[in-house]
Amino acid sequence: MIVSKNVSLIYSDKTQALVDVNLDISPGELVYITGPSGSGKTSLLKLIMGIESPTTGTLSVLGKSINDSGMMGIRKIRRSIGPVFQEFKLIEGRTSLENVMIGMRFLGIKPKQMKAVANETLENVGLGHKKLSKVENLSWGESQRVAIARAVARKPSLILADEPTGNLDYDNAINILKLLKSFRNDNTTVIITTHATHLIKDEQEATFIRVDNGRITIERRYR
C-alpha cells in the first residue's frame, strides 16, 4: 500500500522536514501518525498525496512510485485517496451534497448513481438533513463531516485525515475518530494524523507512527 525507503524531505527554503523515513503500510491498516506540531506529520501526508516529492529515497503509494510519476500519474493516485484536510477545503457557495459529489465527478460514475451515493454517505455521517445547506452555513463539526463524506463517498483505497480532531472537544473528537475508523476495511487503509495522543492511547488495533524532528518510530499494536 505505502512503501518508503530512506525518504528524506527538504523544502526549498532548506527546512529538513523528514529524515530517513522507512515505512511499509499494508492494505486495511489503521495508522495514527502522531507528534508535536511542526514535527513532520503533515509533510508525511503531503508526500503520500504527491504534493511533495521525496528529496532522497523512494516512495510508492498504492503500488505506484511517487518519485517517477508525473502530474498525470500523481492525479491518478489521488483519485484512489480520500483526503480529509485540516481546513476541510470545502467549496463555498455549494451545498453539502454538491461538495460530496464533486469528489466523484471525474471517476466515471453516472450522475444518478453519484447523487445516490452522496446522499447515502451524508446520511451515514449524520448530515442527511443538511444536504442542501450551503457549506458556509454549517458549523465546524458539520463541515468536517461533509469533508469526511466527500473523502469516503468515492470509495477510496486510502483515507488520509489530517488533524481531524484539532478543534474539537473530547466527545466530538472521539466521535470523529470512531467515524473515520468505521470506514477501514480489508481494502481501505485509514491514516489519521493527530497530536492529541490521549485520544488514541487505548487503541489496541492500530499502527502508530511517531514523528519527531522529522524522524519516525513505528509501533504496531495488534491483539
Partner 1 sequence: MRSFLFNFGYFIKESGRVIRLNLMSNIFSVLGTGLILFLLGIVITGTDIGNRLVIMLNEEAEVNGYFSENITAEEREALADKIGSMDGVRSTRIVDEDEAKRRMEDILGEEAKILELFDENPFEAFIEIRIDIDATDYVIDGVKNSPGIEYVRDNREVLEKIQDITYALKILGYLMMAAVGITTLIILSHMIRQGIYNNKDQINTLRLLGSPGTFISFPYILTGLFLTLLGGILAALSISFIINGAYNGIGGTIPFISLPPREELINKMFILLPGLSMALGLLGSLFGLSSIREK
Which residues in this chain contact partner 1 in the complex, by CB under 8 A? 49, 51, 71-72, 75-81, 83, 85, 89-91, 93, 102-103, 105-111, 114, 150
- For partner 1, the closer of residues 135 and 200 by Cβ is 135
Instruction: Determine the 3-state secondary structure of 90 from DSSP.
Output: coil
Q: Answer whether 36's CB lies under 8 Å from 14's CB.
A: no
How do 30-34 and 189-194 pair as beta strands?
parallel
The minimum distance between CB 180 and partner 1, in angstroms, equals 18
Q: Answer whether 127's CB lies under 8 Å from 149's CB.
A: yes
Residue 202 to residue 174: CA distance in whole angstroms: 12
The minimum distance between CB 207 and partner 1, in angstroms, equals 24
The minimum distance between CB 199 and partner 1, in angstroms, equals 26
The minimum distance between CB 20 and partner 1, in angstroms, equals 26
The minimum distance between CB 111 and partner 1, in angstroms, equals 6
The minimum distance between CB 176 and partner 1, in angstroms, equals 20
- For partner 1, the closer of residues 69 and 197 by Cβ is 69
- For partner 1, the closer of residues 5 and 94 by Cβ is 94
Tell me which residue has cell 525518504. Answer: 7
Instruction: Determine the 3-state secondary structure of 176 from DSSP.
Output: helix
- For partner 1, the closer of residues 103 and 208 by Cβ is 103
- For partner 1, the closer of residues 110 and 201 by Cβ is 110
Which set of grid coordinates corresponds to residue 99? 461538495
What Rg do the C-alpha atoms of the chain give, in angstroms? 17
- C-alpha torsion 190→196→201→206, nearest 10: 10
The minimum distance between CB 53 and partner 1, in angstroms, equals 12
Residue 13 to residue 46: CA distance in whole angstroms: 16
**Residue 174: how many CA atoms within 13 Å on its side-chain side?**
7
- For partner 1, the closer of residues 89 and 129 by Cβ is 89
- For partner 1, the closer of residues 79 and 155 by Cβ is 79
In terms of residues, how long is the chain? 223
Residue 54 to residue 69: CA distance in whole angstroms: 12
